[in-house]
Structures are given as C-alpha cells and as structure tokens.
Amino acid sequence: MQLYIFGAKALALGMYRALSELYPEFPIQGFLVSPLKDNAPTLAGLPVMDLLSIRDKNIHILIATPEDLHPEITDLLERNGFHHYTCMNSRREAKLMEQYFIRKGDFVSLHTLPAGTSRVPIEVFMAKFYKDKALENTYELPDWTKPLQVGAALTRERVARDTDFEGDNISAKNVNYCELTALYWLWKNRLQKEGAGGYYGLFHYRRILDLCDADVLRLEENGIDAVLSYPTLHEPDILEHHARYIKDADWEAMLRALRELQPEYYNALKHIGLQPYFYNYNMLIARHEVLKDYCEWLFPILERTEELSEPRGWERKDRYIGYLGESLMTLYFLYHKADLRIAHTGRLMLT
C-alpha cells in the first residue's frame, strides 16, 4: 500500500523527515492537500498534490495537520472514497518527533535524562481566554499548572481565579500580544518578587508540553535551564514561517527594533534565520532567572516594534505581536543553545 501525508506545512514536513529517518522501509510518495491553492508544488523534493487528483483509493494517508482540523479532513477523505488513513494526533506526533530528534542528536530530550529524587518549586500558568471553546474531554493536569485568564481587561466575564489584569500588566493589549500578556504578567508579578526561585512557565488552554511529575524531578538534578517543545521544521528555512504569518512591514519594524536594542542578536538572526528549526506557540518552562532574563530581553523589543509598526499596535486588532514573539523566542534560545542547558519535549493538544 502506498503511503501519503495529508498536509504540506511544518507538521507534515516534520513527520516526513521523522518517518524517512526512522522507517525508511515505508517511503512516503508525496503530500496531499485540498485545495491545492497557496501550497508550494513540492515539499522535501516530493510532489504536493490535490487530494481529488488521486485515483487510487487504496492508498494509506497519514493526516499531519493541527489536530482540530482532523474531523473536517477525515470527513473529506470518507466522502471521496479514501478509507485508509491515520490521524497523527498530538501525542503520536510528539512521540514520533522525540524519536527523530533523539536519533539526530540535535535537541536534548527531557525524558531521556536520569531520573531525579527532589522536586523543585514549579508554577506553570495556562493562558485561558473567555471566548475559548470548551474542551470535549476532561484532563487531570498536575497541581503545578494553574489557569490564568488573559485579556481580562477586555471583559467582565471571568473564567479563572487569576487574571493578567492584576498588578503590573498589559492585559488590554491581548488582541496583539495573545498569550504573551500572560508572560508579561508572570514576569512583572512573579519573577520580580524578592526571594522568587524555582521554575516558571507558560502553557496554552489547549496546548501543553508533554511533561509529568517524574519529569519535574529531572529539572534541577540535571541542571536544566529551560524546557521547550521540539522545534517544528520549515523549508527552506524558518523565514517561511514569517512569510505565512507576519506582514513584511511588521517584520521590518521588528528588525529595526532588534537592531536598535539588541544588535548582537540582530546580526545573529542573519544565520539563525537560515536554519529549519522554529519554536512555536510561546510555550516554555524555565529556571526563574533564565525566564526573567528572557522577558527583560523580549518585551522592550516588542514594545519598540509596536511604536515602529504601521499601524501601531494600539491602533490595530491582529495577532502580529504574538507571532513575532515566536520568532524572537526562536532567536533567543537558539542564540543561547551553547550556554543554556535546554531540554525538549513534545507538544500535546487538548481536545
């Protein structure tokens, strides 16, 4: 049976690279999409084809898209006579990509580190918005995860006890900053407290890192400075991400801000931007002082970008600052790859 991947973006590329490395005996024939519009003609040297152009209904299709699209895609497949498919949900994808990166040796896996015996203080906030669609399933999350309502300044409705509207905050900027209003609140109201220590982090309401209590025991005893998700892969390089999600004018504004405030990083972006690895979603866990340093670096750049962009941040209602934050997070942690002890794990999607 011939094997195809449905999807032609980062998740599909990552799955192709992993399967080709780990299971070369099952070659991928190509990538399927529907419709073909806005997709490159090839990916990883293989054709990107319209699903409806495929005549052989006996092929097996691996669905490699964001998990919330799977019901729509499986319905499309069934309606068009394709009954052999596998939904590569976030847990399967996380496991596959972990095996791939372990094989490649590029990014340290948290799960492979020696088990520890002492638990350090840890507090991870899950960004939650009042318009979030309710989860269909119930999950038992560790007690060190806490919901934090973001954009609380924009509504009187409350969906979490803690909000990003307390203390020093930029809650009203949530339309531009997305989950980064939670990170700003964490920086100003937790990380700057006298005596603060341990580890802090940020998850999403629907996306979390694949981390359990046993993994928390690995942090301190292995000298971990930060835990990030395995990076997504992009072709030809990570500038492909900005081309899809960020307007050129906004990218140029960010570059100007970076050049003004952090010229060493601006120069480093010239080569870091030409590699395929990208840290999505602004999710991380880090040692207190590492996360504090990152926030002190990140937010002045974003604030200056707001001033330089046209229209400026407070004059618009799109997510551009949140997307730029992902690019800056990638830049910061790849820049520090040699001097920070960074461990990685998969991303899980809650449904």
DSSP string, 52-111: GG---TT-EEEE-S-GGGHHHHHHHHHHTT---EEE--HHHHHHHHHHHHHHHTSS-BGG
Look up tokens 């094989």; give the residue: 103
Q: For residue 313, what pLDDT is reported?
A: 87
Element (H, E) at 348: strand 347-349
Query: Could you state, in order of their start, the residue ranges of all structural domains in the chain?
Result: 3-88, 110-349
Domain spanning 3-88 has what CATH number? 3.40.50.20
**Confidence band of 212 (pLDDT split at 50, 70, 90):** very high
H/E element, 199: strand 199-204
pLDDT tens-place string over residues 96-106: 999 999 999 98
Helix axis angle, 288-308 to 248-261, nearest 10°: 120
pLDDT at 140: 87
The confidence score (pLDDT) of residue 103 equals 96
User: What is the helix (H) or strand (E) element at residue 32, kind and residue range?
Assistant: strand 28-33
- The per-residue pLDDT for 119 is 86
Give the per-residue pLDDT at 196: 74
Q: Which residues of 334-345 are buried (b: 16+ CB within 10 A; e: fewer)?
A: bbeeeebebbbb
Mean pLDDT for the chain overall: 95
pLDDT in tens, 147-195: 999 999 999 999 999 999 999 999 999 999 999 999 999 999 999 887 7
pLDDT the model gives residue 38: 85
CATH number of 110-349: 3.90.550
**Count of C-beta atoms within a 10 Å radius of residue 66:** 12
Quote the distance between the C-alpha of residue 45 and its chain's center. 25
Q: For residues 288-316, give the mean pLDDT.
A: 96
